[in-house]
């Protein structure tokens, strides 16, 4: 207990510094969690210009160097890709899709994915590339 200037006894605890520490720890946790969830890493091919295709509902199809296909961040087969994209297309008729494939991936994998997108009549399609540095 502490006696104040006027002789009053203070028996409460100041928790402000403890709350400051808790908020800082919460902020660090949020930043570190979102920094680690970035998707699948692929080595993108180069292009002379890169259009902005970012939309909130956009579905991303990634093809890694070893040929693994991912829908957003989940590995899928071609059949699963067609099923899931069909479900998304049914829910959102103007579903935008972007395809990002590693530059060293087998070309047939990219063509297979584009065939699935064509069969599902997805008209908003983008191919992700890196901007060519001159």
Residues 64 and 110 in one domain: yes
Which range, 53-57, 81-85, 91-95, is most confident? Answer: 81-85
| pLDDT of the residue at 33 | 75
Q: Are residues 6 and 72 in the same domain?
A: no
Q: Which domain holds residue 15?
A: 2-36
Amino acid 112: pLDDT: 92
Least Cα distance to 85 among 61, 112, 110, 111 occurs for 61
pLDDT recorded at residue 10: 67
The pTM score is 0.59
End-to-end CA distance of the chain: 71
CB neighbour list of residue 60: distance below 8 Å, 6 or more residues apart:
39, 70, 71, 72, 97, 98, 99, 100
pLDDT tens-digit profile of 90-134?
A: 988 888 999 999 888 888 999 999 999 999 999 889 888 887 776
Q: Tell me which of 50 and 18 has the higher pLDDT.
A: 18
Question: Residue 14: inside a domain, yes or no?
Answer: yes
How many domains is the chain partitioned into structurally?
2
What are the backbone dihedrals phi and psi of residue 54, each rounded to the nearest 5 degrees, phi first?
-70, 120
Q: What is the DSSP string of the chain?
A: -EE-TTSPEE-----HHHHHHHHHHHHHHHHHHHHH-------PPEES-------TT-EEEEE-TT--EEETTEEE-HHHHHHHHHHHHHH-TT-EEEEEE-TTS-HHHHHHHHHHHHHTT--EEEE--EEPP-
**pLDDT, tens digit, 9 for 90 and up, residues 4-48:** 566 667 677 788 888 899 999 998 888 877 765 556 777 777 777
Q: List, in sequence order, every residue forming a beta bridge with 37; answer none if it has no partner.
A: none
Dihedral pair phi/psi, residue 79, rounded to 5° = -65, -45
Q: 81 and 55 share a domain?
A: yes
Residues 82 and 125 placed together within one structural domain of the fold? yes
Assess if residue 83 is contained within a domain. Answer: yes
102 and 115 Cβ atoms separated by less than 8 Å: no
């Amino acid at each position: 207990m502490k006696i104040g200037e006027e002789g009053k006894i203070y028996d409460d605890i100041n928790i402000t510094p403890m709350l400051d520490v808790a908020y800082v720890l919460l902020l660090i946790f949020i930043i570190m969690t979102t920094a680690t969830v970035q998707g699948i890493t692929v080595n993108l091919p180069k292009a002379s210009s890169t259009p902005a295709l970012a939309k909130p509902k956009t579905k991303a199809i990634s093809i890694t160097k070893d040929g693994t296909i991912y829908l957003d961040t989940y590995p899928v087969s071609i059949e699963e890709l067609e099923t899931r994209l069909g479900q998304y297309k049914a829910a959102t008729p103007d579903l935008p899709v972007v395809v990002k494939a590693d530059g060293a991936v087998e070309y047939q994998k990219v063509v297979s994915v584009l065939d699935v997108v064509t069969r599902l009549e997805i008209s908003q399609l983008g191919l992700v590339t890196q901007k060519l540095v001159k």
